[in-house]
Amino acid sequence: MDRKNHKNIGERGERIAIGELAKYDIDVLLPMSDNLPFDFVAFSNGKFYKCQVKTTNSVTKNNSLLFNLKSNNWNKKTEHKYTNDEVDVFILCDFINVYLVKFEELNGKSVFLLRKEKTKNNQTKGINLAENYLISSERITEVFN
């Protein structure tokens, strides 16, 4: 089995994300089709959240994780940007950690960079530190409120 194809990488990320959510007692509902704009629905605090998982193994020169936030149809050669009607929460996975991001935090973006380390000049504006999005009880509360 080719472990490097995009579909396989995405499926592995989804399984990791579901396992991480289970650690926080969040139930996951899986759709019967993969033709929906979300990967699964999370059920938390009596509410449903459409979740889209994005997985990466791409690290930039400045040690940032690069997540593509578009859906690609390789057969039709088309790309789709998600809308707030389609997705409530992006769950980002790098095979080591899982990060939670509300759709509003990414609205309009095609890619999202999560920086693993602080900048040398301590710049914070426009910098998304991975530690701020890392799944935790606190982040769960912020995202699934």
What pLDDT, in 10s, does the model give residues 36-80? 889 999 999 999 999 999 999 888 888 899 999 988 766 777 788
pLDDT digits (tens, 9 = 90+) for 82-119: 999 999 999 999 999 999 999 999 878 899 999 998 88
Q: Which residue has the tokens 């693993």?
A: 116
Q: Can you give the residue ranges of every domain in the chain?
A: 6-143
Strand partners, 115: 64, 129
Q: Which residue has the tokens 């899982």?
A: 98
Helix (H, G, I), strand (E, B) or coil at 45: coil
Strand 47-55 to 40-44 pairing:
antiparallel
CATH, domain range 6-143: 3.40.1350.10
